[in-house]
């Protein structure tokens, strides 16, 4: 048994690495990457194709050429500078689409599959710089392979909970065992999964802002954007129960980072 544990420990350590190069934002955290990258990208591609089919079926895919052209123009500028953080991203089959959807949202799946919802443009009356902040943030999730990391983390968490369940299954008091298992699951979520997600969100904020600045977009637009986002949703849970940083903390951190990245923006704003 101890040899299996040692083997798992070696495998665990070997799966830790940073997915992006050192950068001005200071993001260089070692990540848990046990899942094969090819598997994650293939799963993402399947999910993206499914989303495109559903949107097309409802006549919601790329219906406004003005929105589509604008999103593609902004995204392509960001993509051109993604190699600064991850050189192999130049080989990704990037794809950019816009769904006619009132939701204020956007995403970039592993491997560079971008989707922007039209609600993000309409409801926020977003400027080009603000759209670049959102799209840059989502691209950064893909560059940092956060999806792959979350899958790896979930696998380790599940393994740990299964082991704990086996340990307490011998308890004579089954009700107590069930309650203990529920508490362990909640604890894993609050103290392991959610904080890790908040770390990923902060990393995407930081790299996304630097990516935008290097692409000639004003990093301070992220501050105005999140001011608008804050007005959109007033029913968010406390930060310790959320996978995202609180709006106030996010705005404060983005402001500090925007000042730090201002020289990079100034040197690239004419591009």
Beta carbons of 265 and 213 less than 8 angstroms apart:
yes
Q: Catalytic annotation on 266? A: no
Q: Helix, strand, or coil here: 262?
A: helix
In terms of Cβ atoms closer than 10 Å to its own Cβ (0-12, 13-18, 19+), residue 200 is buried
Nearest one of 181, 199, 209 to 32, comparing CA atoms:
199
- CA dist., res. 41 & res. 2, Å (int): 34
* Catalytic one of 138, 145, 203, 253: 138
- CA dist., res. 111 & res. 93, Å (int): 7
Residues with Cβ within 8 Å of 12's Cβ and at least 6 positions away in sequence, in order, are: 32, 34, 156
State the catalytic residues. 138
């Amino acid at each position: 048994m101890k040899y299996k544990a040692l083997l798992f420990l070696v495998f665990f350590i070997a799966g830790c690495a940073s997915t992006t190069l050192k950068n001005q934002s200071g993001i260089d955290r070692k990540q848990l990457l046990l899942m094969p990258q090819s598997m994650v990208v293939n799963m993402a591609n399947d999910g993206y194709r499914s989303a495109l089919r559903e949107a097309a079926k409802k006549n919601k895919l790329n219906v406004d050429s003005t929105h589509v052209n604008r999103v593609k123009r902004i995204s392509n500028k960001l993509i051109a500078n993604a190699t600064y953080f991850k050189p192999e991203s130049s080989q990704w089959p990037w794809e950019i689409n816009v769904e006619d959807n009132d939701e204020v949202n956007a995403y970039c799946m592993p491997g560079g599959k971008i989707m922007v919802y039209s609600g993000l443009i309409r409801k926020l009356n977003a400027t080009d710089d603000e759209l670049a902040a959102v799209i840059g943030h989502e691209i950064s999730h893909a560059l940092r392979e956060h999806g792959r990391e979350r899958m790896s983390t979930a696998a380790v968490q599940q393994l740990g909970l299964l082991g704990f369940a086996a340990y307490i299954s011998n308890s004579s008091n089954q009700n107590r065992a069930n309650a203990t298992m529920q508490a362990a699951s909640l604890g894993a979520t609050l103290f392991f999964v959610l904080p890790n997600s908040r770390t990923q969100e902060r990393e995407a904020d930081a790299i996304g802002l630097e990516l935008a600045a290097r692409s000639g977009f004003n990093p301070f637009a992220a501050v105005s954007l999140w001011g608008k986002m804050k007005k959109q949703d007033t029913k968010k849970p406390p930060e310790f129960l959320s996978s995202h940083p609180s709006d106030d903390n996010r705005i404060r951190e983005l402001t500090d980072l925007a000042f730090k990245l201002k020289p990079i923006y100034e040197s690239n704003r004419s591009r």
